[in-house]
Amino acid sequence: MNSPTSSSRVSGFLIDWGRLKKYNESYGVIILIRRYKMPGYESSKQKGKQRGSGKPTAARIGERFASSIYRARSTIREIGLSNEWDFLVTLTVDGNKHNRTDLVDLQDKLAKWIKRYNTQHNIKIKYLIVPEKDAKGAWHFHGLLSGLPFDHLEEVDFFQNRVIFNWLEYAAEFGYARVEEINELKCVVTYLLKQAFPVR
């Protein structure tokens, strides 16, 4: 849910405009925008101006990339905080079973496997999964799950007052899965974002 805050209008722009984005009953974020162009408004400087046909500059490419990363982070945060989740998972891939360097292939196989798993067990696992590449170029996944029954898990460890599980059928198909219950959703979503977009 988005709710506008107070603002002023100057020549087709909203100045000091804000928006409240509510994820659920516990979490929300206030987005402040210093200058926002009104829909349908075109300044006199822009009228008649045509886009250049030259290649985009390195600076422009950098801006687009940064904007894309921002949108991806915002989407993950919104989905993560707007839904109910049961588990935080780290899904590894055994190199003897799959090519760990082919992300597109891994994502396709994982999505199809979960779809078959839901059908076979008559359940409905929902997931938010992001990839991470290690120093050797191999991919693994971090994510949030809901709908996975406890009896599909095996307790393997107890660490810092948390029970650590392995997802047995995932392990047989792909590799070890570290599964733990979620206590504080906001912290878990923040962790997920750090893994998906590490600071280099």
User: What span, in angstroms and rounded, lies between the C-alpha atoms of 143 and 126?
Assistant: 10
Query: What are the tens digits of pLDDT across the range 145-159?
Result: 999 999 999 999 888
- The confidence band for 79, taking pLDDT boundaries of 50, 70 and 90, is confident
Distance CA 19, CA 82 (A): 17
For the segment 36-78, what is each residue's pLDDT rounded down to a tens digit? Answer: 555 555 555 555 544 555 567 766 666 665 666 677 788 888 8
Average pLDDT, the chain: 79
d(CA 39, CA 12): 8
C-alpha dihedral, 69 to 72 to 74 to 76, nearest 10°:
-140
pLDDT at residue 194 above 70? yes
* Residue 198: exposure state from Cβ atoms within 10 A (0-12, 13-18, ≥19): exposed
